[in-house]
Amino acid sequence: MPELPEVETTRRGIAPYLIGRRVLGVTLRRPDLRWPIPPQITTLLPGQRIEAVERRAKYLLLHTEAGSALLHLGMSGVLRVLPPDAPVGKHDHVDIALERTIAQAPRILRFTDPRRFGCLLWQAPGETHELLASLGPEPLTDDFDGDLLWRRSRGRKAAVKLFLMDNAIVVGVGNIYASEALFAAGIDPRRAAGTVSRARYARLAAEVKRILAWAIERGGTTLRDFISPDGAPGYFFRELNVYGRSGEPCHVCGTPIRQVTLGQRSTFWCPRCQK
């Protein structure tokens, strides 16, 4: 599943082709993805100029005066900017046609989603969609820091890794990056969230910011399905310290990496470096 760096890579890849361009029309090749596609996508979006392309957690929003198209890539979705005559594949479910500009030829934004776990929804002007209403702060902003983690974790018995992955606490820290940040901070992912000190949370927040920022610059972590809008894979997977390395020696101390399931997600850690 694409995580925050992959979604941010997508946003950065498509935004230069979308911002300031008018939507000529929308082609739907099926009426639904994970949920039904609302009628506003075909009745309100055409004719509108895209004013901004925003990421909120793992969602992308195409903002216009009439409202915003809200997209999620799901498990295997991809957004690509293509020529209007690009051949249509079996899983190419949505095309958003964009006007010609002085600098750019006509283009389409194509949403491909083989597993159909993604979504294309609508957010009215001045409103916050229900999927976004309860989300925590963005991890790369000043709203997220160690003090927030420490305050929100008091009294919690859940494993710190599950706490860190809770989108109501902070958005976008998925399985891979939670494992890597906890390793970098020296915290055992199984430790109860309420037992981690303020100082250790300060280091954890700093590592979350560092690792996510670095992963974005590296184009994300391509393990299976994700490719960026230009077809390039992510390269952060080459620099993973613990994720997916069960039984392999720790890069720091040589101790074999261990694996356990927490919250139905595979979790990796070094029993010597993480306490």
Give catalytic status of residue 265 as yes or no. Answer: yes
Is 161 one of the annotated active-site residues of the chain? no
- For residue 209, indicate whether it is catalytic: no
Annotation-wise, does 21 bind a ligand?
Answer: no
Reading the block at residue 185, the tokens are: 């901070």
CA–CA dist 18, 49 (Å, integer): 9
115 annotated to bind ligand: yes
91 known member of a binding site: yes
The token pair that represents 20 in the structure block: 């300031």
- Determine the Cα–Cα distance for residues 218 and 5; give it in Å rounded to an integer: 9
**Options 21, 58, 200, 245, the catalytic residue:** 58
Neighbours of 65 (CB within 10 A): 10
Give the bridge partners for 96, in sequence order.
Answer: 26, 109
Would you tell me the crossing angle of helices 198-217 and 175-185 to the nearest 10 degrees? 130
- Contact predicate 15/7, CB 8 Å: no
For helices 4-18 and 198-217, angle between their N-to-C axes, nearest 10 degrees: 40
User: Is 11 one of the catalytic residues?
Assistant: no
Find the catalytic residue in 12, 203, 209, 265.
265
Q: Which uninterrupted H or E stretch holds 181? A: helix 175-185
Q: What is the DSSP track for 119-180? A: EEEEE-TT---TTTTT----TTSTT--HHHHHHHHTT--SBHHHHHT-TTTSSS--HHHHHH
Expressed in angstroms, the distance from the first to the final Cα of the chain is 29
The amino acid present at 244, given as its one-letter code, is G
Binding residues for DNA: 91, 115, 156
Question: Could you give the residue numbers annotated as active site?
Answer: 2-3, 58, 265
Which residue ranges are tagged as binding site?
Answer: 91, 115, 156
